[in-house]
Structure 1
Amino acid sequence: MTSRFTELTVDCRDPERLAAFWCEVLGFTVIERSEGKVEIASWEPTVEAIQAGQMPPTMLFVQVPEGRTVRKNPLHLDVSPIDCSSADEVSRLLALGATKADIGQGPDVNWEVMEDPEGNIFCVVRSLAPKD
């Protein structure tokens, strides 16, 4: 018996806003909407494709009435730019509504800790852009 990692669910106050932010960050599109929920992905999931092999998970944003209660997420996303430097990607994400975050990481790390528009922590790590 085997399970598949099919989606990452994010509790939030405004699923539409957060889904739009993450669509811009990751180049995903909305694949499903319902009352208080928005699901985004890089592909259109089918049961057959998921059963056949591990496919990239979707992100599901679910509206909840309460806000975050802790500062640091026990689980967070790391993103790697694919066509620019990490510094350029941080600038792009700031323009989309992200903010830089200090969770005690110190000045000598080689990644940038950020928060999405609802304060969820994520990191911009190494660039995957081709080297000249």
Structure 2
Amino acid sequence: MTSRFTELAIDCAEPHALARFWCAVLDYQVQDDGDDDGDVVTIGPAADGGEQVPGPVPPTLTFARVPEGKAAKNRLHLDLSPSDVDQDDEVRRVLALGARHADVGQTGDESWVCLADPEGNEFCVLAGRRP
């Protein structure tokens, strides 16, 4: 028996704001607002008329409010592979949505671009399927 990766939990200060950013980046939608306090928001792929999409289901992202702020470089991050534009166009699009460039010790020779979401969580935009 094996397990399947279905959800990534992300601690944050503003779950709804971060969920809106990632919905715009990934073309996801809010699937669950969690509780009345708005302390947990889950986003995932948009439903396609209620039908199961063939192939593996992409994981959902769950944003949970925590009192402490981000203190160091993430040890886990998302890699994005542009699906219908080149890397430069995707970087420009994501920056316009509220991301910013992040320095995590790059040399300048990488094939990926390191960015951070509005709360400082690093992620990379890849040039192709493999970094």
Query: For this structure pair, what is the TM-score category when the shorter chain's length is used for normalisation?
Result: 0.7 to 0.9
Q: Which runs of at least 4 in structure 1 moved beyond 6 Å after TM superposition? A: none
The C-alpha deviation readout for 1:60-97, integer Å capped at 9, x for no partner, is: 00000110121x11100000111111001111111100
Partner of 1:39: 42
Alignment partners' CA distance in 2, 1:104 and 1:11? 23
Kindly report the root-mean-square deviation, in angstroms, between the aligned alpha carbons of the 2 structures: 1.7
Q: Of the candidates 56, 59, 71, which is equivalent to residue 57 of structure 1?
A: 59
Partner of 1:4: 4
Which secondary structure does the structure 2 equivalent of 1:34 belong to?
A: coil
Structure (1 or 2) with the greater helix fraction: 1
Q: Which amino acid aligns with 1:4?
A: R
Query: Are 1:69 and 2:62 an aligned pair?
Result: no
Q: Which amino acid aligns with 1:22?
A: W
Alignment partners' CA distance in 1, 2:3 and 2:79? 23
Alignment partners' CA distance in 2, 1:127 and 1:109? 12
Which secondary structure does the structure 2 equivalent of 1:4 belong to?
A: coil
Partner of 1:96: 97
Query: Structure 2 regions of 5+ residues with no counterpart?
Result: none
* Mapped contact 1:40–1:60 kept (Cα < 8 A): yes
Alignment partners' CA distance in 1, 2:102 and 2:43? 25
Identity of aligned residues (%): 52
Alignment partners' CA distance in 1, 2:111 and 2:4? 32
Aligned length: 120
Alignment partners' CA distance in 2, 1:93 and 1:43? 19
The C-alpha deviation readout for 1:23-65, integer Å capped at 9, x for no partner, is: 0000001010023011000155xxxx8xxx9532110000001
Once the two structures are TM-superposed, the CA of residue 109 in structure 1 deviates from its matched residue by 1.0
Alignment partners' CA distance in 2, 1:24 and 1:80? 15
Alignment partners' CA distance in 1, 2:105 and 2:58? 31
Once the two structures are TM-superposed, the CA of residue 6 in structure 1 deviates from its matched residue by 1.7
Alignment partners' CA distance in 2, 1:102 and 1:54? 32
Which secondary structure does the structure 1 equivalent of 2:114 belong to?
A: strand
Q: Which amino acid aligns with 2:34?
A: S
